[in-house]
Amino acid sequence: MIKMNVISERCKGCGLCTTACPKKIVHIQKDKRNKKGYFYAECIDQDACISCAMCATICPDCAIIIEK
């Protein structure tokens, strides 16, 4: 089940979400870029996500959606 979803076109890869995650499972991936040319964040272990929404709270672009 996907708990943390990144809207890739909104993400500018600032990395704030990676520092806010208590489980350290959010990373800026280096394989794909969005249409604006930014590498964007992704959750590398959805099963470990506790849906705390710290990443979504700190995101300045509202690019993260948390589902429980």
CATH fold, domain 4-66, is Alpha-Beta Plaits (3.30.70)
pLDDT tens for residues 10-51? Answer: 999 999 999 999 999 999 999 999 999 999 999 999 999 999
Residue closest to 34 by CA, chosen among 63, 3, 9: 9
Confidence check: pLDDT of 68 > 90: no
Structure tokens at 20: 């806010």
Full-model pTM = 0.90
Which is nearest to 67 in space by CA: 59, 56, 58? 56
Q: What is the pLDDT of residue 2?
A: 85
Position 1 confidence tier, pLDDT thresholds 50, 70, 90? confident
Pairing between β-strand 4-6 and β-strand 64-66 as defined by DSSP bridges: antiparallel
Nearest residue to 10 (alpha-carbon basis) of 49, 50, 60: 60
**Domain layout of the chain by residue ranges:** 4-66
What pLDDT, on a 0 to 100 scale, did the predictor assign at position 22? 97
Residue entry with tokens 């809207």 = 7
